[in-house]
Structure 1
């Protein structure tokens, strides 16, 4: 794995990021509680349906904070209601597409899909296959630009650190092609689970990459990430513009240059 300057990063730094993931996720949760008054000023847009997809081995419980936040902003938001995310099983792939199609029919328009980690990969694949159903995709720490081996099993303790190291072991990764719908990839160079380079897409008129300081596990509760999601969902249909770091209320400090 490399730093932004292209120099190799010491393996011990990667190990430290992996080991501190849970603690740093708790820091994000605490920052969310402190920053709640500022987040009330986040952008709001046209109410439209939003589906939130969980990460690997996670369920809708893991996206509860994010969904509650979006609901308070006025969006009709749902989880995927498919249990734990064990990977792209046929019933899961079909279930997500059927859910998005049903919501699009009920609301008379395409659906925004927000996916955390593996959920973001699902969201992008859905947009590739059924672009008329998807208004936009926002992925959070999703390594879609690389194809790591499918995890064999859930790990714990020292085994979990090994899984994290393997998921970060990508080489010669290049930004993925842009989607046929507007898309935002939120990534962090402090991600202790996946190589941040594997979260990048080619930037263009309707595609972008937005950097934050969050941990991988804390993406769904980090104030900066929540602001980005709100800002992206507030984009008018057909008039999407790239994210601009907010200058007010000191929020700019939450967003690195990239």
Structure 2
């Protein structure tokens, strides 16, 4: 059955990036729990990740109207095996809005979360002392896991955390990459989060961005069922495409602009 002309027009505007496809999900408990890695179909969908970036062109007008930043520090943390350069487009956008957006400072995320939590915490504490105000942390995939743990340990230094495509539940058991290729990158993280989340949930404002099209991390594994100040936003992007998805950018910009 063909779409109604009005709905067809809205669908086209969303596909081209003119309108957002992001949706707030108020009750994550109703969305279910992960049952394993993403499907093969979802994993193959990652081959089209470049198309997610095309929507940036159509989204430029609405991205330009995002709230202006207040200049506070924003630290961006890349995903597993991703170079620090992967977050450069988002950081450039946040700087244009008026934030002090910086990379995490350690180059490629090689997948040693225990070490990276320690050294990022030290870096964030130093930057916060230098700037005189708490920082916001934005993490992609495994980078979001690291951001969560830094905030858990040092909530006084973290204003808010925003994650996208980040496995919260089950660690590597619900990721395609860990199942197929990498047996050692995230097991420690999975054990740590399973132990801490129920007893010491992330105590700062937390925005969880997830996508049902994610072919790397099971989208249900991204849901946070324990943190008291967690909100969930669903986008329609591949995992790899999230870094250039204008809907992710607009959500990040909106949440960073909220009062501390």
Tell me, what secondary structure is at the counterpart of 2:39?
helix
- How far the C-alpha of 1:209 sits from its partner, in A, is 1.1
Instruction: Please give the per-residue CA displacement for 1:116-172, whole angstroms capped at 9, x wherever unaligned.
Output: 000000000001111111111000110022222699xxx8xxxx99449xx9xx9xx
1:229 is aligned to 252
Query: If the length of structure 2 is used for normalisation, what is the TM-score?
Result: 0.74
Contact 1:118–1:142 under 8 Å retained in 2: yes
Residue of structure 2 in register with 1:132 after alignment: 156
Rate the CA distance shift 1:92–1:5 in 2: closer, same or farther, 3 A: closer
Match of residue 189 from structure 1: 212
Change (3 A) 1:206 1:52: same
1:115 and 2:150 correspond: no
Alignment match, 1:243? none
User: In the TM superposition, what is the alpha-carbon distance from 1:16 to its structure 2 partner?
Assistant: 1.9
Query: Aligned-pair distance for 1:20?
Result: 2.1
- Judging by fraction of residues, say which structure has more helix: 2
Give the gaps of 5 or more residues in structure 1.
Answer: 238-258
Q: Which residue of 1 aligns with 2:125?
A: 101
Quote the offset at 1:52 in angstroms: 0.1
Unmatched segments (≥5 aa) in structure 2: 1-29
Alpha-carbon displacement from aligned partner over 1:223-249 (angstroms, at most 9, x marks no partner):
110010001100111xxxxxxxxxxxx
Residue matched to 1:56 = 80
Structure 1 residues 89 and 226: CA distance shift in structure 2, 3 A = closer
Deviations 1:162-200 (CA, angstroms, capped at 9, x unpaired): 449xx9xx9xx9xx5541111111001111111111111
The number of aligned residues is: 216
How is 1:23-42 mapped onto 2 (pairs within 5 angstroms)? 23=48, 25-42=49-66
- In structure 2, the residue corresponding to 1:179 is in which secondary structure? coil
Q: Could you tell me how far apart the structure 2 residues matched to 1:81 and 1:7 are? A: 34
Q: The residue matched to 1:43 in structure 2 has which SS?
A: coil
